[in-house]
Amino acid sequence: MTTKTGTLNMTRSRRMTALVVAAAAVLTGTGVVTASAASAAEQSKAFGSAAHDSAMRDVAKHVLAIGAPGYMARINDGDRVAITAAGVADRATGRRLTGREQFEIGSNTKTFVATLVLQMVDRGQLDLDAPVSKYLPGVVPNGENITVRMLLNHTSGLFSYTSDPDFFANLQKDPQHVVTERELLDVAFKHEPNFAPGKGWSYSNTNYTLAGMILQELTGKRLPQLVQERIARPLGLRQTYLADPRATNTGPGYAHGYAVKFGETPRTYTDISDLPIGGWGGAAGAVISTQKDLSRFLSAVLGAELFSREQLKQMKTTIALPAGTGIEGSYGLGLFKIDSPCGTVWGHGGDTLGHHSTAVASADGRRTAVSDTTVEPSDTEENDGVNRYYEVAFAAEYVTICEMFDKPVPAAVIQALHGTSTSTPTSAAAK
């Protein structure tokens, strides 16, 4: 649930046990499947391009080679849909990944929460430029000078609880503990703000914890209920929900996530699928979904199906990202604008303790690319294995974007994917 640089910082302090992967040997018999769709309707629109198949097989091969148990991607170019799936959805049973599975979408959740907030604005029940103290009196230090908009676009300056050096180490002591919102805020508020409200940009999960609290305070409903009533049901997203506090069914039809220390030999994989992400992730990153549902949601957001055109304009009013974020682009209200080598996309990404996912779309929402890698480093120090993981993960994101736009993949991205580049590409979407 961080940017690229934030993820690397988190790996130094965060991960639970050897917690979002047999190494290269996993490639044997994994069964990379491309150009297959999840329904008869999608099958009729599946990509027939051999070049596309080759590009996505190459991505899957290299993602599994770095040690991921599974990789999947769903690309819609506006006319056709193609699904790539490789590896296993569950290491314990050997169940193959199909690309239809539910998975933890991490900070893609933020787009859901921002959508709920903008719906409240349309109803006249919330003002983006009102201070947080109006809705949560006495909760946030300096809350009278921090607006709701600042929470959504990460200009509040509030410290992110996941950046606390002891946060994930403390979770490790009792992995099944359901962290409360109050506990998250206590961690965040013991740190000084990163800057004065509105005077900078800094990705902070604390912002979305507070946005979720405001929604619940104003509606009298819990966030899982709001996600169902105001997003999932209207769009027919039958496999999308906010974990409360855990995923409700991690059997067949679910992609398990794994944490691994890439700096250890042999590597140990820890299945994190039964952990209460609804506690520590909450409004910042606890939605469970599928690639198809996430694609439908993002298209609906960019098509203003869930709120007015005025609110879409607000969502797409962005703040330039500062140097050092590892991303070329800007941030709106729960939505990144990413300037990729193959074109501008809108969306988000998500890192949990066992998943690395990205969901992006063209400006009109007609083209989408969603992907998930079912592993996340739990290393506390940077090492060659972790660096290679991010190099491949970010290159894979760019390949899916280029395929979405039907454009050639730049040579530098291919070199990064193959491990022959001299530098690591930046992330296509923040987490």
Residues classed as catalytic: 107
88 SS3 class: strand
Q: How far is CA 286 from CA 78, 280, 348, in A?
A: 29, 8, 14
Q: Would you state the torsion angle of the CA atoms of residues 206, 208, 212, 218, taken in this order, to the nearest 10 degrees?
A: 100
Task: Extract the tokens encoding 32.
Answer: 């990379």
> What is the rounded distance in angstroms from the CA atom of residue 349 to the CA atom of residue 7?
12
Pairing of strands 375-377, 258-260: parallel
> What is the rounded distance in angstroms from the CA atom of residue 108 to the CA atom of residue 98?
21
For the purposes of burial, counting CB atoms within 10 Å of the CB of 340, is it exposed (0-12), middle (13-18) or buried (19 or more)? Answer: buried
Task: Extract the tokens encoding 207.
Answer: 């912002």
Task: Extract the tokens encoding 412.
Answer: 């530098």
8 Å CB contact between 354 and 104: yes
Among the listed residues 343, 351, 352, 321, the one whose alpha carbon sits nearest the alpha carbon of residue 400:
343
